[in-house]
Amino acid sequence: MEADIILTGGTVLPMDKGQPPASAIAVGQGRVLALGNETDVMAWRGTRTHIIPLNGRTVLPGFTDSHIHLVEWALQQQQVNLWGTTSLREALARVQAAHVTLPEGTWLRGSGWDASLWPDLDTPWPTATMLDRVVGDRPVALDSKDLHALWVNTYTLRLAGITAHTPDPPGGIIERDPRTGEPTGILKETARELVTRLYPPEQEEDWVRALETAIPRLWAEGIVAVHVLNDTPTMRNFRALQRLREQGTLRLRALLYLPASRQEDAMRLGLRSGFGDHLLRIGGIKYFADGTLGSRTAAMLAPYLGDPDNTGIFVTDPEALLEGILAASRAGLAVAVHAIGDRANRVVLDILQQVRAAEREHAPPALPHRVEHVQLLAEEDLSRLAALDVVASMQPVHATQDMALAQEYWGEPRIRWAYAWRTLVRAGTHLIFGSDAPVEPPSVLAGLHAALTRRRTDGTPGPEGWIPEERLCLLQALHAYTLAPAMVEGTASWRGSLAPGKVADLVVLNGPLLPLVREDPTALLEMQVDMTLFAGEIVYVREG
């Protein structure tokens, strides 16, 4: 067999213990044919082989984003983008600019705001009246950066019938004026559904078109595989990805976790974790234990600093969580449980300990259970994930973006075990990384920088980073984006690393990664993806 493509003259990092670094790689019929030096690999050259000189670039296995809300992120590329706004004034200006472009009567939707970054905000949360100044005659609904709070205008509150007499729904909070009890325009957790259920119905075609536009943006980040979490009850991720697969245009591998609201349907159908093919597979069921740090709804063992009556909330009652996870496990469905606060993580680990005990009586699911985010653990719980063989699915950029909030709301000494990557790895925990897009952009290079430095891109909080004891080395962080996710999927025999016979999903970075990062980890901020291959097909080449 002759190679379709040979990449030569660089550094190939296979991320496979059985394969040493190489200077060239040959690809043919969608698979890796050979790795080695130029002489060995050029033996695969044929009359139709495309020779690509690397000129010192680095080749890695294609990246996996192990926590993404795929269609949600794709759709949000078409809405008002409030990500990165540094003031209330700037956010309102973006909303107003979008308002004048929309047809009369349509919803104005957006996302990405983070009120902690707005020095001109003189209230704890933005309010409906602030939005009313720029848009008063159409419904406005703006998701927070973490997707756990919704900011709406007065028009929307009236449309939804939310008044001072509307009770907080189970697992949700309607922010209210402390003097009058009137809703202020912020809806947290399940209270968001009082408005989101009113959104104009989406069509499957909308989801498919959004993905067709968005997936190439993932290739530009070197991402060839995703773990899709928190699909909506409409199952839009599953449906849209199936459509692309049926059309023969899907160039992305996806492991899908179905919402807990669809667990009974999945069980009746007999779906089991691991079912699917090389493009689409069932991961299991996604549950929510608590809220988030930013909205101060993450469930805590001790109150939030400056808020002595607030220990967060459980979005799902712990007893219902135990019952649901036990049923999922018996049906062969693994679970992925969102848990942020130290109390939520403890409760989830207690539940999974009971589930593991029950699994002695029946076969466990084919894929491992996992906890999503694991942002804060009590010290005595640090070794429990490894002991229970539970995956820690974490997002490095959350640590650097949320460190100021963690300091303010959690404080010393408990933040010592916030985003405790290195401690978890040393304990033997299986660690995988993702972005949580659209909460953060799906950038693996940004995630690697955060994992290695625990610093923001502007250098804060200083050379050592935030809680520097938890920094990872480059290979540990790369493992969490490459082979480790494939191991979680049960696909490591054919993907996740570069070895002869494995699928040719790979990414080419624009320079010599190892020497640059050893000298200065901030070099990751200057790195770029030059090329991405999916199953041996070049799907992305950086312009220029």
Say yes or no: 88 and 166 in one domain.
Answer: yes
Q: What is the mean pLDDT of residues 156-172?
A: 96
CA 43 to chain centre: 41
Say yes or no: 22 and 91 in one domain.
Answer: no
Domain contains 177:
yes
Owning domain of residue 183: 82-196
Say yes or no: 57 and 116 in one domain.
Answer: no
Boundary (domain end) residue, out of 179, 196, 213? 196
Say yes or no: 96 and 152 in one domain.
Answer: yes
Boundary (domain end) residue, out of 162, 196, 230? 196
Domain contains 343:
no
Q: Could you tell me the CA-to-CA distances from 262 to 271, 286, 326, 419 in Å, in that order?
A: 11, 10, 15, 30
What is the chain's mean pLDDT, rounded?
Answer: 96
Give the torsion sign (CA, 535, 476, 388, 340): negative
The reported pLDDT for the residue numbered 211 is 96
Overall domain count for the chain: 2
Counting Cβ atoms within 10 Å, is residue 512 exposed (0-12), middle (13-18) or buried (19+)? middle
pLDDT (tens digit per residue) in 22-63: 999 999 999 999 999 999 999 999 999 999 999 999 999 999
Say yes or no: 117 and 182 in one domain.
Answer: yes
Q: Could you tell me the CA-to-CA distances from 11 to 57, 396, 479, 513 in Å, in that order?
A: 6, 25, 17, 9
Say yes or no: 111 and 186 in one domain.
Answer: yes
Say yes or no: 55 and 87 in one domain.
Answer: no
Domain contains 386:
no
pLDDT (tens digit per residue) in 381-406: 999 999 999 999 999 999 999 999 99
Tell me the chain's radius of gyration from C-alpha atoms.
23
Q: What is the mean pLDDT of residues 310-326?
A: 97
Cβ neighbours, 10 Å, residue 346: 18
pLDDT (tens digit per residue) in 118-138: 999 999 899 999 999 999 999
Question: Amino acid letter at 436?
Answer: D
Say yes or no: 53 and 87 in one domain.
Answer: no
Domain contains 130:
yes
The reported pLDDT for the residue numbered 308 is 96
| Stretch (H or E) spanning 531 | strand 529-534
Q: Supply angle C-alpha 306, 308, 309, rounded to 5.
A: 130
Say yes or no: 50 and 117 in one domain.
Answer: no
- Distance in angstroms (rounded) separating the CA atoms of residues 66 and 227: 5
Domain contains 520:
yes
Model confidence, pTM: 0.88
DSSP state, residue 103: P
Say yes or no: 91 and 176 in one domain.
Answer: yes
- Distance in angstroms (rounded) separating the CA atoms of residues 409 and 178: 21
49: tokens are 């082989």
User: Tell me, what CATH number does 33's domain have?
Assistant: 2.30.40.10
Q: Which of 311, 381, 379, 380 is nearest to 348 (CA)?
A: 381
Boundary (domain end) residue, out of 171, 196, 221? 196
Say yes or no: 94 and 52 in one domain.
Answer: no
Whether the CB-CB separation of 34 and 16 falls below 8 Å is answered with: no
Domain contains 355:
no
Q: What is the mean pLDDT of residues 426-439?
A: 96
The reported pLDDT for the residue numbered 84 is 85
Say yes or no: 157 and 100 in one domain.
Answer: yes
User: Tell me, what CATH number does 182's domain have?
Assistant: 3.10.310.70
The reported pLDDT for the residue numbered 538 is 98
Domain contains 178:
yes
Counting Cβ atoms within 10 Å, is residue 250 exposed (0-12), middle (13-18) or buried (19+)? buried
Domain contains 488:
no
- Distance in angstroms (rounded) separating the CA atoms of residues 533 and 281: 21
Give the torsion sign (CA, 224, 227, 229, 233): positive
